[in-house]
Homo-oligomer: A and B are copies of this chain.
Amino acid sequence: MRTLAAMKVVTTTLAVPTRERIEIQDLTDRIAELPGVDEIAHGAVLIHSLHTTTGLVLNEHQDALLHDIATMLQKAVPEDGAYRHNDPAYSDCNRANAWSHLSAIFLGQTLQVPIEQGRLVLGTWQRVLFCELDGPQTRRIYVQVMGV
């Protein structure tokens, strides 16, 4: 498919309240229904968490697997490591949330999903999963729909 045209941009900031310290929410439907998506023939949505202790991943929304993601993070990034960010001798942060920062780096904060004919281009099992790693908090996600 080929297109040559002027570009459209529509931006929104989503509020995402979380209830648990570690929690994964499926944002796919909220993003698919955002203003502007249905006007894009070819483009992409940039989904950008504004935080340093959250992650965004594309994977399957299955409760068992969401539980496994949390388990994996706790193995890959040991929570009780001797982190300077948690040590008052080195850090002015009193949240003791080094694990949350490091897990966020592991997962990444930004996703880009293509749009074609007004719909997100996702495989059968792919969903946009927002990962709270230091909740509960109300989180903000900047979403930019861009295309022709």
Q: Copy number in this complex?
A: 3
Interface residues on A, range: 35 or more
The smallest C-beta distance from A9 to any residue of chain B, in angstroms, reads 4
Give residues 72-125 of A contacting B (CB, 8 Å).
Answer: 72, 75-78, 81, 83-85, 87, 90-91, 93, 98, 101-102, 104-114, 116, 121-125
- A26 at interface, CB cutoff 8 A: no
- A16 at interface, CB cutoff 8 A: no
Known: A11-B42, A77-B76. A91 touches B62 (CB 8 A): yes
B42 A101 Cβ-Cβ under 8 A: no
State which of B46, B69, B105 has its C-beta within 8 Å of the C-beta of A57.
B105
CB-nearest residue of chain B to A115: B144
A110 B109 Cβ-Cβ under 8 A: no
State which of B2, B105, B114 has its C-beta within 8 Å of the C-beta of A59.
B105
Residues of B near A90 (CB, < 8 A) are 63-64, 67
Residues of B near A10 (CB, < 8 A) are 1-3
In whole angstroms, what is the CA distance A87 to B57 when docked?
Answer: 23
24 CB-based A-B contacts, threshold 8 Å: A1-B9, A1-B11, A2-B8, A3-B7, A3-B8, A6-B6, A11-B42, A42-B144, A46-B112, A46-B114, A50-B124, A52-B58, A52-B59, A52-B123, A52-B125, A59-B101, A59-B105, A64-B85, A71-B81, A75-B77, A76-B77, A106-B106, A110-B111, A146-B147
